[in-house]
Amino acid sequence: MKLAVLTSGGDAPGMNAAVRAVVRKGIYNDCQVFGVREGFRGIIDDDIIPLQLGSVADVIQRGGTFLRTARCEEFKTPQGLARAIANLRRREIEAVIVIGGDGSIRGAQALYEGGITAAAIPGTIDNDIPATECTIGFDTAINTASAAIDKIRDTATSHQRTFIVELMGRHSGAIALAAGLAAGAESILVPELPYDLDEVCRRLESGRSRGKLHSIILVAEGAASAYEVAAQLKKRTNQDTRVIVLGHLQRGGSPTAFDRILASRMASEAVDLVLAGKDQVHSFR
């Protein structure tokens, strides 16, 4: 079997480990394995390269994705999808394993509906894929975030300040919630639940009344504007506030041992599934 693997959407630590496992498991099962560069854009542009065992040597510990990734609006069009499928068929590639988030899973479903064997591996730091307990990259992201918050707390303590820390998560507060619990944040705002600014202020003032001179408030980017929250808190409590946006820092770095193992196990299972013909993709919208 000729098998292709790609990474799509936002990068997540552990994607390289997943690609590595696909290549190794595929070759072990006598497959020819190809890598698609820059996600679904690479299928449309026929940017497809053969991968050997040496291609994935020394990548398990690397963050990001050596295949690179991109978002591709053209793939969502009938013409773009048809071009992608035509390129795969011309190369006689029978199966595609997609590593990415919800949009990438929908892309895998489109290939499946177009007659290409497909499997999707959940790789996103947001941990927002239904029916998946933990996605590749989430553990690394929350470790990165909690370590950063620990450092922020050091300076917050020194200067008796309240820090508003914005974390990634347009629709999911998973990173903010997990990192906040790990770092002992005073309040955590997530997009899944409405927040009560009065309650946040009450907690800040309660802490001050018992001698706590610093606070950490975490805000998932989809919950509210960190700058607006900071302005409101300063106005209501008269506390010295600062905003820090962690941004893409959360996507980088060497994956944790947990993410490396999770990625390897998921990728191995994905290869087994496509070889067994169990390639039905369920997409959650």
Paired tokens of 258: 């947990």
Q: Give the separation between CA 196 and CA 174, rounded to whole angstroms.
A: 19
State which amino acid sits at residue 95: A
β-partners of residue 95 are 3, 117
Per-residue 3-state assignment (H helix, E strand, C coil) for 175-244 = HHHHHHHHHCCCEEECCCCCCCHHHHHHHHHHHHHCCCCCEEEEEECCCCCHHHHHHHHHHHHCCCEEEE
Q: Give the separation between CA 255 and CA 264, rounded to whole angstroms.
A: 12
For residue 243, which of 235, 255, 234, 251 has the smallest C-alpha distance? Answer: 234
Q: Give the separation between CA 194 and CA 77, rounded to whole angstroms.
A: 36
Q: Give the separation between CA 22 and CA 273, rounded to whole angstroms.
A: 12
- Enumerate the active-site residues: 126
